[in-house]
Amino acid sequence: MRNTPLDMARLGSMDTAEAARLLRGMRDATLAGERPRVEPRADIGESWERMLRRGIDPDRDRRAGMLSLAELEERRRLSPLRDVLPLLREGLVEIADAVQHIMVVADTDGRVLWREGHSAVLRKADAHGFAPGADWSESVVGTNGIGTPLVAGRPVQVHSAEHFVATHHAWTCAGAPVTDPRDGRVLGVVDVSGPPTTMHPATLALVRSVTRLAEAELRNEHFVELERLRTVAAPVLARLSGRALAVDTRGWPAAVIGMPPGGRLALPKTLGAGRVWLPTLGSCEVEPLPGGWLLRPAESAPPERAPQRVTLDLRRSPGATVTVTGRTGSWTQDLTPRHAELLYVLASHPGGRTAAQLAQQLFGDPTRTVTVRAEMSRLRRNFTGVLTHRPYRFLEGVEVEVVGDFGV
């Protein structure tokens, strides 16, 4: 029988040398194909399995090309995390500096955009290639506090020899993804890193708390944007008869007439003025509004509830795109990595999956049904007429095609 997996509380109770010996032994046994005396934590074990399948060299420090200064500045300018950078600095930089750590903010590709904190650790990071513009995706540098949270979709702490590549063992890292509350997309990762002697089990909780504050700030900004759109749309809607609604660029309704208010609409990846088909509304006339769109469902065409085909394209990583085709048109939308994985599992099991089965396949833990149900609720709202539940599955009669694979 396997031993109980290691946890951060136990690791934090050890002195640095003892923890290093334990983790090195665990890693060495795993690399040798043997059963370690103590199992790695779930996030670490899953990442190591991915690294072994990818053929990442555990002893070679592999680095991708640095971004040019112009490329780095452009990524910084386009990053939604730029708007919450002052909040992240306020919540983390002073603490990081005091405990000989640095705060690092990376984008969804794992590219380091900003770093701040203890000057000595910044110099150490420079020598290690942990600098602005560097690629710290898991597929390039192995298990780490930036790339691994991006793949796992949740906060991850990586200490010393839990890093797959040996040259990273002189670091302890805790990273959490920042999710856009407006559309569920991952915007990037916030990480706190430093020497192993400064590791504390509570570091990850601190990072996660600050990222939640950042997400709350983005949510507040969204409420302001919706109110602004509502003010613009009100006089326009007042002149109309029949059904109409004003939505922002992410599909959130700001104002509605002639129909009950609903939740967020799944909009096509590209949208412009003219006629468009939506699975929840059918054929609609689209007009631009400052900060969003005016949608006018065709009164003669009732909402279509039976799409004929779903194409899940997994060739873009991370995430995917999905194209839903109905009798009168089609639309394409980007998916988050988690939603892409859920649709892939359902496509692989036409008979359907229960929440516990999905939790087992996604997290290796059948008890994480609350997370699964929340994600499936979001998916079903966006894909009316495509998905059903009890068990979760694609509706009968919907043809599903999967292009590409998750691979590792």
- pLDDT tens digit string along 223-269? 999 999 999 999 999 888 889 999 999 899 999 999 888 888 888 87
The mean per-residue pLDDT over the stretch 9-23 comes to: 74
CA contacts within 13 A on the Cβ side of 104? 31
What are the boundaries of each domain within the chain? 57-219, 240-297, 309-403
- Three-class DSSP category at 3: coil
Q: Provide the pairing of β-strand 112-117 with 387-388.
A: unpaired
Question: What is the structure's pLDDT at 12?
Answer: 65
- Three-class DSSP category at 310: strand
Dist CA 43 CA 51 (whole Å): 12
Lowest mean pLDDT segment, chosen from 129-143, 233-247, 322-336, 386-400:
322-336
74 token code pair: 């452009």
Confidence bin at 361 (pLDDT 50/70/90):
confident
Dist CA 42 CA 142 (whole Å): 16
Task: Please answer whether residues 229 and 293 qualify as being in contact, where contact means their C-beta atoms are separated by less than 8 angstroms.
Answer: no
Lowest mean pLDDT segment, chosen from 5-14, 47-56, 100-109, 167-176:
5-14
How high is the mean pLDDT of the chain? 87
Collect all residues with Cβ–Cβ distance below 8 Å to 396 and sequence separation of at least 6.
none
Q: List, in sequence order, the alpha helices (H) in 128-175.
A: 138-141, 147-152
Collect all residues with Cβ–Cβ distance below 8 Å to 269 and sequence separation of at least 6.
321, 331, 332, 333, 334
Question: What is the structure's pLDDT at 1?
Answer: 41
Dist CA 78 CA 80 (whole Å): 6
Dist CA 323 CA 269 (whole Å): 9
- pLDDT tens digit string along 26-40? 898 888 888 888 888
- pLDDT tens digit string along 336-346? 778 888 888 99
- The helix (run of H) or strand (run of E) holding residue 175 is strand 172-179
Superfamily of the domain at 57-219: GAF domain (3.30.450.40)
Question: What is the structure's pLDDT at 130?
Answer: 93
The mean per-residue pLDDT over the stretch 364-372 comes to: 87
For the beta carbon of residue 388, count every other beta carbon within 10 angstroms: 14
Dist CA 107 CA 91 (whole Å): 19
pLDDT at 408 over 50: no
- pLDDT tens digit string along 74-99? 999 999 999 999 999 999 998 888 88
Range 309-403: architecture per CATH: Orthogonal Bundle (1.10)
For the beta carbon of residue 263, count every other beta carbon within 10 angstroms: 12
Lowest mean pLDDT segment, chosen from 66-70, 160-164, 281-285, 288-292:
281-285
Q: Provide the pairing of β-strand 244-248 with 186-194.
A: unpaired
Q: What is the DSSP letter of 353?
A: B
